[in-house]
Amino acid sequence: LYTAPESCEGRCGEPLSEEDECHCHAECERLGGCCEDYDRHCRPDGFSRRRDSITDQELLELSEQLYGLDHNRARPTDISINPQHEAAPGDTGRQQDLSPHPLYKYVNEELFSKPTYSSFIKLLDNYQRATGREEEVTAEELQEQDNFLREVMKTEIMKKLFAFLHGKNRYGSEQEFLEDLKEMWFGLYSRGDGEQDSSGFEHVFSGTAHPGWGGGTGQCQAGGLIPGSPLCLGEVKKGKVSGFHNWIRFYLLEKQGTVNYFSHNFNGPWDTYPDVLGLQFSWDGFYKEVGSAFIGCSPEFEFGLYTLCFLARPGRACHLSLGGHSLSIQTYPWTKSTYGSGRRFIATAYVMSP
């Protein structure tokens, strides 16, 4: 159902790129570097037809369409932020609070009464922050997951995304898409000592913490939203936060006093919402060297873009366009366990600098 970085499933005819681990364009036979399953998928009568591949141009066009359909995004009058100190690329690890005021000066909390916002916020307290402690999912929490998915699927953003994926033969029905969304985002897997302690949704949108654990997905790179370098999200590793980037989550915790904003190292070119910010902060004493965040987007917009990139370009940079400006998202599949017939959970997803 998604493009695996080491496979040609769903990638036949995709343009050659140095970022790819292996290639699925016909030119790879002449130049070398074809994926091992190139013949099976991309030869005549192969399962993965050229017309079902998702091209770079289609990603640019679809992301602009989704951007235009984000009717629930914040208006310029709904949010006022105070970025204050801009950290140089080499200064993001200094762990110094160089901004005396909170990041958010004002948020119109009437936004949070919108169905997708309210159902999203109810999910945020469903997770234990410490990795290694098994999540106990209650019937009420399962219902909250269903409520959130039901509300986002009502939006034009997710209907457009489904129509696109349906046209690419990724899903046969909206119900099939909905069921897979629940598994890939909310299905539990172990990041610690075998306990079912994490999920893609928790890792990307909520964040967890464990001061002594030095694990992780093994796929994250150092640094963050410094131009040209990506960011790992989701857990506290060796006493540092490497997770939680959602702007709503950040605002609510900053309001409570558990998040302290230090500085920013990147402020995107957008003059309306959603914007993108790279920031440094502490969360209950744990430090985040560079966190990336969409500012002011709706939950369905962020959820939809990450889903699109996970299905189209997992393990690789997914190049998009928002309001005429370039933007990339990185996702990784969880490689240590699967669901269904070998499908992968989401390990992480995050916005990169243009």
Average the pLDDT over 268-274 and give the result: 94
pLDDT confidence band for 222 (50 / 70 / 90): very low
Residue 305's pLDDT is 98
pLDDT confidence band for 40 (50 / 70 / 90): confident
For the ranges 52-66, 97-111, 125-139, which has the lowest average pLDDT?
A: 125-139
Query: What class is the 1-43 domain?
Result: few secondary structures
Is residue 288 annotated as a catalytic residue, yes or no? yes
Given the residues 25, 210, 288, 319, the one annotated as active site: 288
Residue 126 has pLDDT above 80, yes or no: no
Residue 198's pLDDT is 80
Which has more pLDDT, 171 or 48? 171
Domain range list for the chain:
1-43, 50-211+232-352
Residue 71 has pLDDT above 90, yes or no: yes
Residue 68 has pLDDT above 90, yes or no: yes
Read off the pLDDT of residues 130-140 as tens digits, 9 standing for 90 and up. Answer: 444 555 678 99
Residue 97 has pLDDT above 90, yes or no: yes
Residue 137's pLDDT is 79
Given the residues 237, 240, 245, 264, the one annotated as active site: 245
Read off the pLDDT of residues 139-196 as tens digits, 9 standing for 90 and up. Answer: 999 999 999 999 999 999 999 999 999 999 899 999 999 999 999 999 998 876 666 7
* Partners of residue 295 on adjacent β-strands: 275
Residue 155's pLDDT is 98
Q: What is the average pLDDT score of the chain?
A: 84
> Rounded to two decimals, what is the model's pTM?
0.81
pLDDT confidence band for 32 (50 / 70 / 90): confident
Average the pLDDT over 270-274 and give the result: 94
Residue 231 has pLDDT above 50, yes or no: no
Residue 213's pLDDT is 36
Which has more pLDDT, 130 or 216? 130
Is residue 203 annotated as a catalytic residue, yes or no? yes
Residue 30's pLDDT is 82
Residue 310 has pLDDT above 90, yes or no: yes
Average the pLDDT over 72-89 and give the result: 96
Average the pLDDT over 51-79 and give the result: 94
Given the residues 23, 25, 41, 203, the one annotated as active site: 203
Of these ranges, 124-128, 211-215, 255-259, the one predicted with the greatest mean pLDDT is 255-259
Is residue 154 annotated as a catalytic residue, yes or no? no
pLDDT confidence band for 232 (50 / 70 / 90): very low
Residue 44 has pLDDT above 70, yes or no: no
Read off the pLDDT of residues 290-307 as tens digits, 9 standing for 90 and up. Answer: 888 899 999 999 999 999
Residue 207 has pLDDT above 80, yes or no: no
